[in-house]
């Protein structure tokens, strides 16, 4: 146990003090930790061979890079980049505004719905927040919305990007826990829609408390609403084909990602937004992001090998068994750890650090790992808007330099509370997440 604690301490020092990228920090600690444990097993730390840790690390690199199912990651990233390049964010916001803008707080509601729709294709919370801030903020300021509500609806809406499928985070979780990706995608759908509805409720609460925070906009007539819908029909068809094909079992998530990337390319081409320079930039950005994610995953897997060899999952199970508490109490304790870590760590880092430690314990207590994956992602969503390190908040603060970070954090409080309520519902009513996977695949 002391070896694991020392490993975690060194890891935190490398990440927080030295500011080493988490991928390399986890890989280094995992590699040398694995080597140290091998030396202990041989009875002489100075007399071990490098063959074991080198073989472990090289196998992790080769197996991860050659894993066919992981091609879903660059393909979904490419699909999201192409959709972003097509300018879809403007059309999604226009449609949402046409149906909701005339209500009190309607523009904020339209922003939440547009963020949900955009994130369903984009799959990135930070990209959703950065893109929608440029689209939604000007009209909300035009109608006199409070900066706290306007920015909070963008920051909170952006968190939906890591839950509503297709989600790269869910793919990475599936890799770490060897869970079915298509079941994870199915499980994320209802909680994602529930998140949108609860965020709309948070907006209503804010304007009920202070009507001046979100004045009503102009009402759009039905002919104009139908005209606005024409701008998004392509992406609606694309999303229906991609996700419908996965849910119906017509094709695998990898095949769906390929179809989605091809469809997004055609949509961007037909919209006149694609030329050789844009194509090169899109492919370069996709390759850069994919390489970063693969590096992080490899580092996490090497670190996972170290803590598994150290026997940490078994020690945690023995400790929990000795406490003689109900399994749900253990889950609540894990969630408390996640919320605290979310105040310090960025979401992907937090998930990669904790999932290899917690998922064997959760599985041994009889909980469904697909359900636990949705719980982890929802907690990770909460961390994106939790002070002092809410990544979505800092992205908005960087884009909207005239809005103070404290103003945004103050505005997201009702949305944060809505997320806590949603988390509690998913924890105590697991069927919210498991209904679709059980209906479609079990």
Is it true that the peptide bond before 106 is cis, omega within 30 degrees of 0? no
pLDDT of residue 62: 86
Stretch among 199-213, 323-337, 370-384 having the lowest mean pLDDT = 323-337
CB atoms under 10 Å from CB of 358, counted, come to 20
pLDDT above 90 for 426: yes
The residue length of the chain stands at 442
What ranges do the domains of the chain cover?
1-66+291-309, 67-274+310-441
Taking only the tens place, the pLDDT of each residue in 84-107 is 777 777 777 788 888 887 888 888
In angstroms, the CA 25 to CA 295 distance is: 11
**List of residues 6+ apart from 411 with CB closer than 8 A:** 146, 147, 148, 149, 150, 151, 152, 155
pLDDT above 60 for 44: no
pLDDT above 80 for 41: no
220-242 average pLDDT score: 78
**List of residues 6+ apart from 117 with CB closer than 8 A:** 92, 96, 232
Most confident of 18-27, 134-143, 224-233, 420-429: 420-429
Q: What is the pTM of this model?
A: 0.83
Residue 261: closest CA among 67, 64, 70, 73: 73
- Looking at per-residue confidence, does 222 or 30 come out higher? 30
pLDDT of residue 425: 95
pLDDT of residue 194: 93
**Token pair for residue 372?**
């636990």
161-186 average pLDDT score: 84
Query: Is residue 78 within 8 Å of 60, Cβ to Cβ?
Result: no
Give the pLDDT band (50/70/90) at residue 389.
low
Give the pLDDT band (50/70/90) at residue 199.
very high
In angstroms, the CA 224 to CA 227 distance is: 5
Q: Which residue has the tokens 């965020």?
A: 199
Give the pLDDT band (50/70/90) at residue 316.
confident
Taking only the tens place, the pLDDT of each residue in 57-68 is 888 888 887 777
- Calculate the average pLDDT of the chain: 83
pLDDT of residue 203: 93
67-77 average pLDDT score: 80
Q: Per residue in 202-238, is it b (16+ CB within 10 Å) or e — as a string?
A: bbbebbeeeeebbbebeebeeeeeeebeebbebbeeb
pLDDT of residue 33: 85
Give the pLDDT band (50/70/90) at residue 374.
very high
CB atoms under 10 Å from CB of 253, counted, come to 27
36-55 average pLDDT score: 68
- Looking at per-residue confidence, does 183 or 389 come out higher? 183
pLDDT of residue 46: 53
pLDDT of residue 201: 93
| Residue 46 DSSP code | G
In angstroms, the CA 196 to CA 122 distance is: 16
Query: Is residue 361 within 8 Å of 325, Cβ to Cβ?
Result: no
28-48 average pLDDT score: 73
pLDDT of residue 205: 93
């Amino acid at each position: 146990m002391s070896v694991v604690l020392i490993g975690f301490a060194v890891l935190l020092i490398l990440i927080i003090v030295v500011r080493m990228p988490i991928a390399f920090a986890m890989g280094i600690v995992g590699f040398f930790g694995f080597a140290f444990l091998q030396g202990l097993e041989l009875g002489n730390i100075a007399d071990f061979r490098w063959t074991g840790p080198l073989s472990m690390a090289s196998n992790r690199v080769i197996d991860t890079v050659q894993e066919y199912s992981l091609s879903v990651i660059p393909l979904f990233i490419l699909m999201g980049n192409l959709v972003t390049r097509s300018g879809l964010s403007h059309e999604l916001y226009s449609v949402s505004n046409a149906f909701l803008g005339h209500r009190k707080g309607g523009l904020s509601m339209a922003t939440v719905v547009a963020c949900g729709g955009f994130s369903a294709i984009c799959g990135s919370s930070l990209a959703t927040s950065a893109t929608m801030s440029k689209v939604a903020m000007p009209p909300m300021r035009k109608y006199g919305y409070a900066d706290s509500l306007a920015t909070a609806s963008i920051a909170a809406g952006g968190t939906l990007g890591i839950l509503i499928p297709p989600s790269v985070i869910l793919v990475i979780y599936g890799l770490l826990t060897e869970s079915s990706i298509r079941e994870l995608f199915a499980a994320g759908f209802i909680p994602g829609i529930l998140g949108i509805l609860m965020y709309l409720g948070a907006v209503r609460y804010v304007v009920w408390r202070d009507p001046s925070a979100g004045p009503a906009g102009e009402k759009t007539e039905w002919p104009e609403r139908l005209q606005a819908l024409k701008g998004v029909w392509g992406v609606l068809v694309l999303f229906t084909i991609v996700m419908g094909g996965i849910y119906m079992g017509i094709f695998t998530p990898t095949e769906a990602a390929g179809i989605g990337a091809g469809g997004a390319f055609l949509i961007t081409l037909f919209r006149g937004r694609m030329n050789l320079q844009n194509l090169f930039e899109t492919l370069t950005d996709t390759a850069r992001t994919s390489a970063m994610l693969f590096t992080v995953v490899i580092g996490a897997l090497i670190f996972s090998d170290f803590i598994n060899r150290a026997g940490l999952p078994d020690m945690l199970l023995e400790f929990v068994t000795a406490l003689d508490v109900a399994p749900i109490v253990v889950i609540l304790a894990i969630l408390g750890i996640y919320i605290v870590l979310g105040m310090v760590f960025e979401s992907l880092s937090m998930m990669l650090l904790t999932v290899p430690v917690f998922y064997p314990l959760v599985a041994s207590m009889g909980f469904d790992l697909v359900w636990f994956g949705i719980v982890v992602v929802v907690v990770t969503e909460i961390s994106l808007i939790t002070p002092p390190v809410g990544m979505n908040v800092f992205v908005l603060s960087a884009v909207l330099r005239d809005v103070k970070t404290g103003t945004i954090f103050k505005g997201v409080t009702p949305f944060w509370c809505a997320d806590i309520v949603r988390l509690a519902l998913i924890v105590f009513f697991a069927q919210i997440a498991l209904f679709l996977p059980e209906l479609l695949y079990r």
